[in-house]
A and B are shown apart, each in its own frame.
Chain A
């Protein structure tokens, strides 16, 4: 338990530190939301000055940070100029959309990588394994952007899947089953892009971790006891190979909010990615900071979950006394 609380404390410090950095970087970046308006001759400089004062843009940095922190702790994450609404609801909606994509993609990717990696490790060095290695290397080399665009082109040509956004225009009028189907169709392309880009790394790591374990003496001893092959592979080998894979899984969780930006933008999926992109370009600061904070929370939670899983999965990490 103490272990958990210590990690939690570290996580809070980290979050605090990140919030300061995020605030600093975004506010110190040149320009602010109202710069565009300066080019517009119809808006008087006094109006702009008044607007800036209203949004506290000319107060010193630490003051702005403290007042922002204050409002965050009250659940208010600031105000978005572009959307003219509090930041929190916007973030939540977009984050939800992103999570829909990434959680599905992560589950599918791991679901494919684990058995494939184990299968490949069993046949280490032989032809089937080498073929798979080439395939994953090829996938690894193709940039995510090219993958996403490629899938987009494919679907535009064939018309099998809708080419953008999350739902059709008539989403509201569909039945429950229809809604489900519509969502699934829209999700297929972005999820496919995410899975394809994330799969090679996972497969390689699973393969490497399991291959290393398969040669261990306790595996031979288990074979000597006549333990059947499936149990050997999954209950014995995977369990022993879990350590590096759990760390990797922690990364997967950490990237749930941040890893899909490219795909979302290309496929016009209304997620956190495009929101962040717009806000950065238009200097909508509160949204940017809020988005960064959200992603960070996920990253840190991912690591925390990985640590807890490691603690649970590997008894050697729990330093208990020897039973002498």
Chain B
């Protein structure tokens, strides 16, 4: 039971890192980016390729994945996304779906459609067991790593948002873009860097997740629904919202599969619909937010 909880938390934290970029992008630019999963996939494939062909150690691959996908995000934001901000939601959705299609087929064409497998370093493959009376808590080292990295990232993000100039400018732009612009905040730069960081985080999530979630060209669409659920439930105006939403989702999914394997993903969708019906604006909405 405890182990399942642990696994659920790990899964949830992974979802958080994957989805937070999407949440911020949506909150900031009001842009529904369904291609977010493609950035995650890119991070995963960068890791696989580096490890397999250049023997780069796994731990190094993760920050490299961040940098590469952030760069990709920055470039795409500038040349493609920026023109789409004022377009209606339908156009944005279809545009991002189109991007995702392109990404998926490019990967399929160049690397192939089979699932990519990475070999973790030996020290990440073990597990530690703690016994509390009747209950055993078995913590896989890899999942411990995921939780550790994600917690660290959360603190970093929180710090940036609340303690830095950039963070306050970002929050200003999220609250009211026009006024922020009027105050002399360079909204374009904020958009660019936020998008880049969001994509970079997705890349990190993809790199970390390829071991646990499986990596193949269908990744963006397989997990898109999970990211969207996190954002829809957690809202787009805070960090804690998506964090809690991811944790709920991760734990629900893993526990559901343990106790009722036949129902599988059904539980996740049902939870989502129930929550959205109860609170259509998401669980954690600031007063007056969009």
Do A and B associate with each other?
no
Interface residues of A (CB under 8 A from B): none
